[in-house]
A and B are shown apart, each in its own frame.
Chain A
Amino acid sequence: GIQVEQSPPDLILQEGANSTLRCNFSDSVNNLQWFHQNPWGQLINLFYIPSGTKQNGRLSATTVATERYSLLYISSSQTTDSGVYFCAVERGSSNTGKLIFGQGTTLQVKP
C-alpha cells in the first residue's frame, strides 16, 4: 500500500518563529489533506490540497504531486499552534475515500 512519511517527528519552536513540515508519499494521490490535532484530540481540517498551493492566514501548503511531497508552512507561530499535524492521502487508484495517515509531526510552541 501507499506509504506516508512525515518529518520532522518532533519540533520545538519559540513563539513567532516559522516552520516547515514535510509529507512524502510513495504513490500517486487524488486526495491529500493536512490536519491539526488539538490537545482535546479533535482533528481540525487545515487544507485539502491534492496539488498546488493554498494559503489560510498564517498557514500555507504546497503539494507537488509529480514529486510526491507536500509542505505545510506555519509562519509567526503561536502557542495555540501546538499539537500534532497529520498529513493524510488517498491513493490515486482509489475512489473509496480511504485516507492513509502519516505518523504526524508533534509541534510545541513555547511562549
Chain B
Amino acid sequence: EPEVTQTPSHQVTQMGQEVILRCVPISNHLYFYWYRQILGQKVEFLVSFYNNEISEKSEIFDDQFSVERPDGSNFTLKIRSTKLEDSAMYFCASSRTGYTEAFFGQGTRLTVV
C-alpha cells in the first residue's frame, strides 16, 4: 500500500541552525502539506503546496520556513534558523486533490536545544 515516508524520524539540532525535513509523498498525489504538533497539543496546519507553489499557509509559516519540491518525488520543509519553540513533531501529508483523503507520514520529531 502506498504511503508517505519522512526522513529523518528524529533530529536534534542546536538553536540557530538550519534544518531540512524530507518527505516522499504518495506518487500519484498532487497536493502536499506540512503540519506540526507540539508535544501534548493538537495538530496544526503549516502549509499546502500544489502545482509547484504554495496554495495556502498559516500564520505559523513565517519567513524562517520554506518548502520546495526539488524533484519529482521529494517534498522538503526548511527551517532557516531554528528556535527552541520549533521543537515539535512535523508531519508531511499528501492527497490526490484539495478535498480528498489526506495521508500522513510517520512524522519527524525535531528537538531544538
| Dominant SS among interface residues on chain B | strand
Q: Categorize the interface residue count of chain A.
A: 20 to 34
Residues of A within 8 A of B109 (CB): 41
Q: Are B48 and A31 in contact (CB under 8 A)?
A: no
- Shortest C-beta distance, B43 to chain A (Å), equals 4
Checking A30, A86, A94, A97 against B102 with a beta-carbon cut-off of 8 angstroms, the contacting residue is A97
User: Which residue of A45, A95, A97, A102 contacts B42 across the interface (Cβ within 8 Å)?
Assistant: A102
| Residues of chain B contacted by A101 (CB below 8 angstroms) | 42-45
Chain B interfacial positions (CB closer than 8 Å to A): 31, 33, 35, 37, 42-45, 48, 50, 55-56, 89, 91, 93, 95, 97-104, 106-107, 109
Give residues in A with beta carbon < 8 Å to B.
30-31, 33, 35, 40-43, 45, 48, 50, 86, 88, 90, 94-104
The 7 A-B residue pairs with the shortest CB-CB distance, nearest first, are A48-B101, A95-B98, A96-B56, A43-B104, A97-B98, A101-B43, A96-B55
